[in-house]
């Protein structure tokens, strides 16, 4: 299903957003994480796949290590947001220990009767214990997903530094509110 590999140095996702997503993937390991990117904003979503699996493992044979399903609230957000001014442009999820590729299951969830269900690109994150080795962005073209971009991993992007900085800023903001 993945046809061509087009890698260039275009920055399509903000580095800080990407590092935040990598952190999300690492925290959810060994389960899959999922979320939404809209411009420079990020929504970390709740993967309810384990709940579905517990409810009916025949109907939902995958647990959260093998799949993802957005929570009802996240789906509501997505549907509302797509009509807004800053619509979601990327849906992301992680692949624990199996690398970044666009699976048959991923395709089934993204496409209905030959058309994209949501007008977005898909980011797949290759996560291992305490690390993200890379991530790949897929775009739907002529019935197939092409690998549109490949991003460096957690260490190459020096995410630890970026995330720590974000954390500090966040703490500062909280203490400012306290003072006010
Ligand atoms: Zn997948």
Separation of 140 CA from ligand 1 center, angstroms? Answer: 15
Task: Please name which of 16, 1, 32 lies closest in space to residue 151, comparing C-alpha atoms.
Answer: 16
Polymer length in residues for the chain = 180
Token digits for 50?
């384990």
Assigned CATH topology for domain 2-172: Cytidine Deaminase; domain 2 (3.40.140)
113 contacts: CB under 8 Å, gap ≥ 6: none
Separation of 93 CA from ligand 1 center, angstroms? Answer: 7
The domain ranges of the chain are 2-172
Taking ligand 1, which is a single-atom ion, which protein residues have CB atoms under 5 Å away?
103, 106
Q: How far is CA 9 from CA 19, 20, 138, 150, 152, in A?
A: 17, 20, 15, 9, 11
Report helix angle 159-179 to 15-28, nearest 10. Answer: 100
Separation of 33 CA from ligand 1 center, angstroms? Answer: 10
Separation of 177 CA from ligand 1 center, angstroms? Answer: 40
Token digits for 131?
């690390």
For the stretch 104-141, pLDDT in tens is 999 999 999 999 999 999 999 999 999 999 999 999 99
For the stretch 64-110, pLDDT in tens is 999 999 999 999 999 999 999 999 999 999 999 999 999 999 999 99
Separation of 55 CA from ligand 1 center, angstroms? Answer: 22
Task: Give the predicted TM-score (pTM) of the model.
Answer: 0.86
Separation of 102 CA from ligand 1 center, angstroms? Answer: 6
Separation of 80 CA from ligand 1 center, angstroms? Answer: 24
* Other beta carbons within 10 Å of 166: 15
Task: Please give the span between the terminal C-alpha atoms of the chain, in angstroms, as a whole number.
Answer: 55
């Amino acid at each position: 299903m993945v046809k061509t590999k087009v890698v260039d140095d275009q920055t399509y996702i903000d580095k800080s957003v990407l590092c935040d997503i990598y952190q999300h993937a690492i925290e959810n390991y060994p389960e899959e994480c999922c979320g939404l990117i809209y411009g420079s904003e990020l929504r970390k979503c709740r993967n309810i796949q384990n709940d579905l699996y517990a409810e009916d493992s025949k109907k939902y044979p995958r647990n959260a290590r093998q799949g993802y399903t957005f929570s009802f609230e996240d789906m509501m957000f997505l549907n509302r947001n797509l009509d807004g001014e800053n619509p979601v442009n990327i849906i992301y999820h992680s692949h624990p220990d199996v690398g970044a590729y666009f699976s048959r299951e991923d395709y089934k969830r993204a496409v209905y009767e030959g058309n994209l269900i949501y007008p977005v690109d898909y980011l797949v994150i290759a996560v291992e214990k305490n690390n993200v080795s890379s991530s790949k962005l897929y775009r739907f073209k002529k019935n197939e997903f092409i690998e549109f971009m490949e991003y460096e991993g957690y260490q190459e992007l020096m995410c630890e530094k970026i995330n720590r900085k974000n954390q500090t800023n966040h703490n500062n903001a909280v203490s400012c509110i306290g003072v006010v």
